[in-house]
Each structure stands twice: as structure tokens, then as C-alpha cells.
Amino acid sequence: MSKVSDLHKKWSRNADYRAAYDELEPEFELARALIAARVSAGLTQAQLAKRMKTTQSVVARLEGGRVHPSTRTLGRIAQATGTRLRISFESG
């Protein structure tokens, strides 16, 4: 079985793949931030879900980047993980 990182390196040689990956970078970055907040708080997905009054599958979808969370949902995650939500715009 191939590692995802190995496949990514292989596929990155393809310009179409790189362009699509780069376009999705903000979603990947958000997913990484959500996972990092949960892990830093020492919570499982189920524990975070309980604190947010939702289900583990919702947390999994958020962390998998399959849904675009609202600022309200991001605020609930911040509260449940003991973090502060900060949203900013940066010049490219």
C-alpha cells in the first residue's frame, strides 16, 4: 500500500494536480488548524463533539474538509477547545 505522502509527491509532477491542490490549500490549512486545536486540547473527535453538542461524524467531516464551517461553528470549536478564534485576510 502506498503512503499518501508518496502519492502526493508522484502526483505533484502533474501540472493539473498541482493547480487543483494549490486551489484547495485554504481548505487543507483550515482542516489542519481544526485538528491541531482538538489535539492540543487533548480531545478525541467524540469528546469534541460532545462539548459542541454535535456528533463525532460532524467533527470528522469538518476535519476532513468536506464541509465549509460557518464562523459560528468555528466559534463553537474554539470554545470547546479552549482556544480563541481569529480570522484574518492576508495579501497574496
Q: Tens of pLDDT along the chain (92 residues)? A: 678 889 989 999 999 999 998 888 989 999 999 999 999 999 999 999 999 999 999 999 999 988 899 999 999 999 999 999 999 998 87
Task: Provide Rg for the chain, Cα atoms.
Answer: 15
Residue/partner pairs of 80-86 with CB below 8 Å, 24 or more apart:
80/41, 80/43, 80/48, 80/51, 80/52, 81/37, 81/38, 81/40, 81/41, 81/43, 81/48, 82/41, 83/37, 83/40, 83/41
CA 21 to chain centre: 15
